[in-house]
Amino acid sequence: MTILHAHDYGGDGPQLVLLHGYGRSLTDWNAAAALLTAGHRVLAVDLPGHGRSPGISPWTLPAVVRHIANTLDAHGVPEAVVVGHSLGGMVAVEYARADPDGARARAAVNLDGFWWGREHPGADRLSEGLLASAGAIAPPEYIEQQVAHSARLGIPADLAEASARTAARPLPDGTWQTLPERATAREIVGELHRLGSLGVTPWLAGVDRPLLVVQAGRRLPPAPGMEWFAEFSTRFAQGVSDELTALTRTRPTLTVDRIDAAHPMHMETPTAVATLVAEFVRGLPD
């Protein structure tokens, strides 16, 4: 049994479990979690191989769901609404799909968590970039660089710094190692491509728990040398949006929303994200 690193933010009310994105940690949720504790008990979890959680091999979504369920059992959480961002959003959907096989999800929230199949134009190029940066040794000024990058999205410096420090591993010489490590990253990307190749509609088939999907309304500003990514992400997001719109006509348990923020919406606009999540939970059947 693997118990993952978790942080209990406290609060009273319906149980929420918060999951972060690829290469990040539960600290990303600090601002939004503080708002959600007004009406919920809030627990955040570091995914395997991220933050302070141990790694697993192979890194598969069924294994991750099982380890999260074990972790929630250890924290006395019998049932929860699982809220995830990006990779965490995809895990949240898989957690809801696994119910009642030990996962016990009341509902799930997916914040901009979608991926593409290998055949999608540009997919291999993006995957290569992710793998190249996984487990890399970053210079001592890495944290300051991450804070400066986050400032472009309006993310407060204190949240950006705390998040950057917990998402990487400090080394004795003052440098940093990015997480996850490369072998784990390869397995994660393989799992993402497996789901992405299905397409949104087949992927969400069989998830009968209430599901809220929130798409980012703005694209990330392209990094130098990544100008091509703007067209890639815009085209992909539109395809996802079209499928979700069609699905809502036949899936009464699916709610789709859009937020005026870029991909890291829970850090950029924590109040708006917390409001969407709280409203969704209030509307759940008893």
Of the pLDDT bands very low, low, confident and very high (cuts 50, 70, 90), residue 121 is confident
Q: Helices marked H in 37-178 — which ranges?
A: 61-74, 87-98, 123-133, 142-151, 157-167
Segment among 42-51, 75-84, 100-109, 207-216 with least mean pLDDT = 100-109
Please state the φ and ψ torsions of residue 199, each to the nearest 5 degrees. Answer: 90, 155
Confidence of residue 10 (pLDDT cuts 50, 70, 90): very high
Between 222 and 59, whose confidence is greater?
A: 59
Read off the pLDDT band of 100 (50, 70, 90). Answer: confident
DSSP class of residue 47 equals: P
Q: Does residue 244 carry a pLDDT above 90?
A: yes
User: pLDDT digits over 44-76, tens only?
Assistant: 999 999 999 999 999 999 999 999 999 999 999
Average pLDDT of the residues in 144-173: 96
Provide the mean pLDDT of the chain.
94
